[in-house]
Chains A and B, each alone.
Chain A
Amino acid sequence: MEVYLDNNATTMIDPKVLDEMMPFLTEKYGNPNSLHKYGSATHPKMVEAIDHLYTGIGAADEDDIIITSNATEANNWVLKSIWIDKILNGDKKHIITSEVEHPAITATCKFLETMGVEVSYLEVNEEGVLDPQTLRDALRDDTALVSIMWANNETGKIFPIKEIADICKEAGVLFHSDATQAIGKVKVDVKEIGVDMISFSAHKFHGPKGVGALYIRGGVSLTPCFHGGEQMGGKRAGTVDVASMVGMGKAMQLATNPMAIAYEVNHVGMLRNRLEAAILEIPDTIVIGGTENRTPNTTLISFRGVEGESMLWDLNRAGIAASTGSACASEDLEANPVMNAFGSDSELAHTGVRFSLSRFNTIEQIDYAIEQVKKAVERLRGISSSYAYSPKNHVSGLGAH
């Protein structure tokens, strides 16, 4: 059996989304900015997509949702344009973010530091989320922007986004949130929260890769990053990828309507809990970050004595796709920031395996995954030095290098 449990990395395109996209990859290939009928043929579905996007996140008509190539572009745009507008050409100096953001935020902030920007990377608490008081303490008169994720990609933990937005509003500081891991998993309503900007990516909610968006509340001005034609009201030049935009609109509708969110919470959440409960029956396993306030599809579990990459290896052989933040599984041997936040020197940093589900997973798949996870843990603990025999007088040397 093939079981895909890596939906926080990317998702399959919903066949209904693909159906919407196909005409624009075939006969309706016009440039939307052309005046002739090839151009205008693209407009009805683009308008529909925009409607879905605005409805999906609760945006008002005077707000902007600008189509980008992905959330990474949207995040880069926010940070770099805030730097240009408020720091280079203003009197601000400081940006606040958290230590567990996606690299699209963290690496961009590191770059801005080389350009003289002061950045605070706020620590998260033992549950892996930002404590609102930590933010209050970090705000300064010269803070230009607060950028805090809506939900974490590794743990699925949901940040206290309403409180963060209120604190920012009170301080008069712009608040941006990377909502990539939240759309379609929990309700994202920009008006209700009072957030100034959010980023998201279609391929995380069963849309195509290579398309995302930046929501900008009406009245917030942001210098464009891409200059060129008048697409997107001049805020993001470049011919719009019509098929992708239409696909993202459809994916948004399918993922964020009230029925869909209810299904995510009830059904996907039930599957996740079933998987998690069965795994936790294995001795020496824990859920990293705890089980409260999470996206319904995600669980990050540590298996003592089993290194994350070898766990993925065995699961992969069994046809199951999962993910690990273990340093050993990365190209540069760097553990991911979430693992480091929980203690890079702790066993957890190397033993965490993330299972992220979607609405396309079935109960049969989950039961198969449970069986295979148990098998993998048994085999790998059989190999593991953490569970190895030692003679009576042997003093373990399995300490630090």
Chain B
Amino acid sequence: MGMDSLIGGTIWDEYSQKVTELMNNPQNMGEITEEQAEAMGAKLIVADFGAESCGDAVRLYWAVDPKSDIILESKFKSFGCGTAIASSDTMAELCKGKTVDEAVKITNIDVEKAMRDTPDVPAVPPQKMHCSVMAYDVIKKAAAQYKGVDVDSFEEEIIVCECARVSLSTLKEVIRINDLTTIEQIVDYTKAGAFCKSCIRPGGHEAKDIYLVDLLEEYEKEKMAKAADASLSGNIAFADMTIVQKIKAVDKVIDDNIRAMLIMDGGNIEILDIKENGGYIDIYIRYLGACSGCASSSTGTLFAIENILREKLDQNIRVLPI
């Protein structure tokens, strides 16, 4: 949010001049027929991607020189919004003169960059980045057809966010290294999820195999499992414990060292809550029975409890009686 997000209906204002011009007058719009390809001594490739029912679709025509694998001519037809048409046009342009192997390396990000008026200003608003993805997918299909291989053979890694082309392995690594816990953090660190938002959670513009919320959940479980394992082996720092483990650990220390004495005097103690507070770990307790009126409950006894918890668990513990 912020001042830039207060006025709606700005999608078209954010299109670059190039996007606008290509939408008004696409340069590579058209078809290549078998006869035309033959006349060039080229092989005709026709590849389709998308569907009208999905909101965008493209048909790419290539005339490829079978000796050099060079794309001699490249044309498109596209069903979609202005940015889909401009992206398809730019994609067709970028293919021209390249070998098929080179063309496969063209990504949607290359297409978007080629449509910028100035290097630093995106050519399309974030939610329209999605339209350029189709341009990348159709190239792969055309190349697969030309080479007689499966489309998947061009994808070396699993891409979770297609708009920003962020892979599964990158996401997992960034989440782990930086201990990310929210979608906003992932967007800030990787740009994944910043555009069409389909990859964030189910129910978006397009169904996905993997969502960012799944990755966060997986990491959370991973952390939890690690904490459980460490706790089992006894070598986990108090600060790294889950809240339940912390409560259990505090209770155990009190059971082993303090509770018996209090009970002997007709009192007891209960743990109310554990909170992280700046550098401190605050443990809220309540005295029960005789302890609740005892003079030393806020002095001697309290210091004793605090000292033993600090010694056994963590130096930053503070005990706060309620």
**Which A residues form the contact surface with B (CB < 8 A)?**
304-310, 313, 317, 326-329, 331-334, 345-347, 349-351, 382-392, 394, 396-401
Please give me the residue from chain B that is nearest to A392 by CB atom.
Answer: B34
Contact of A385 with B57 in the complex, beta carbons under 8 Å: yes
| Chain B contact residues, majority secondary structure | mixed
Stretch of B24-32, B222-230, B254-262, B307-315 lying at the A interface: B24-32
Residues from chain A with Cβ under 8 Å of B79 in the complex: 305-307, 384-386
Contact of A350 with B53 in the complex, beta carbons under 8 Å: yes
- In angstroms, Cα B173 to Cα A167, docked, is 59
- Chain B 1-17 interface residues, beta-carbon cutoff 8 Å to A: 8-9, 11-12
Q: Does residue B196 face the partner (Cβ distance < 8 Å to A)?
A: yes
Given contacts A333-B130, A383-B26, A383-B85, contact A398 B34 (CB under 8 A): no
Stretch of B44-52, B264-272, B274-282 lying at the A interface: B44-52
Given contacts A307-B80, A386-B79, A391-B33, contact A350 B127 (CB under 8 A): no
Q: What are 13 A-B interface contacts by the 8 Å CB criterion? A: A307-B55, A310-B80, A310-B81, A327-B55, A328-B55, A383-B77, A384-B77, A385-B76, A385-B77, A388-B59, A388-B77, A398-B57, A399-B51
Residues from chain A with Cβ under 8 Å of B196 in the complex: 333
Residues from chain B with Cβ under 8 Å of A346 in the complex: 53
Given contacts A313-B23, A331-B11, A385-B79, contact A401 B33 (CB under 8 A): no
Contact of B81 with A401 in the complex, beta carbons under 8 Å: no
Range for the number of chain B residues in contact with chain A:
35 or more
- In angstroms, Cα B58 to Cα A396, docked, is 11
Residues from chain B with Cβ under 8 Å of A382 in the complex: 29
Please give me the residue from chain B that is nearest to A313 by CB atom.
Answer: B82
Which residue from A308, A331, A390, A400 sits with its C-beta under 8 Å from B59? Answer: A390
Contact of B127 with A397 in the complex, beta carbons under 8 Å: no
Q: Does residue B217 face the partner (Cβ distance < 8 Å to A)?
A: no
Contact of B8 with A385 in the complex, beta carbons under 8 Å: no
Interface code B46-75, partner A: CB below 8 Å = 1, 0 otherwise? 111111111111110000000000000000
Residues from chain B with Cβ under 8 Å of A345 in the complex: 53
Please give me the residue from chain A that is nearest to B196 by CB atom.
Answer: A333
The smallest beta-carbon distance between B287 and chain A, in angstroms, is 38
Interface centre among B31, B52, B59 (most CB of A within 10 A): B52
Which residue from B26, B49, B56, B141 sits with its C-beta under 8 Å from A307? Answer: B56
Interface centre among B56, B82, B197 (most CB of A within 10 A): B82
Contact of A333 with B197 in the complex, beta carbons under 8 Å: yes
- In angstroms, Cα B33 to Cα A394, docked, is 12
Contact of A385 with B55 in the complex, beta carbons under 8 Å: no
Q: Does residue B204 face the partner (Cβ distance < 8 Å to A)?
A: yes
Residues from chain B with Cβ under 8 Å of A308 in the complex: 81
Which residue from B49, B80, B141 sits with its C-beta under 8 Å from A328? Answer: B80
Contact of B33 with A398 in the complex, beta carbons under 8 Å: no
Residues from chain B with Cβ under 8 Å of A307 in the complex: 55-56, 79-81, 84
- In angstroms, Cα B209 to Cα A63, docked, is 55
Question: What 5 A-B pairs are tightest by C-beta distance, nearest first?
Answer: A397-B48, A388-B77, A309-B81, A328-B81, A389-B31
Which residue from B26, B48, B82, B197 sits with its C-beta under 8 Å from A398? Answer: B48
Contact of B127 with A333 in the complex, beta carbons under 8 Å: yes
Residues from chain B with Cβ under 8 Å of A400 in the complex: 51, 53-54
- In angstroms, Cα B58 to Cα A252, docked, is 49
Please give me the residue from chain A that is nearest to B137 by CB atom.
Answer: A401
Q: Does residue B90 face the partner (Cβ distance < 8 Å to A)?
A: no
Residues from chain B with Cβ under 8 Å of A399 in the complex: 51
The smallest beta-carbon distance between A381 and chain B, in angstroms, is 9
Contact of B50 with A310 in the complex, beta carbons under 8 Å: no
Residues from chain B with Cβ under 8 Å of A392 in the complex: 34
Contact of B23 with A396 in the complex, beta carbons under 8 Å: no
- In angstroms, Cα B79 to Cα A396, docked, is 14
The smallest beta-carbon distance between A385 and chain B, in angstroms, is 4
Contact of B127 with A309 in the complex, beta carbons under 8 Å: no
Interface centre among B9, B11, B34, B46 (most CB of A within 10 A): B46
Q: Does residue B78 face the partner (Cβ distance < 8 Å to A)?
A: yes
- In angstroms, Cα B24 to Cα A329, docked, is 17
Residues from chain B with Cβ under 8 Å of A396 in the complex: 48
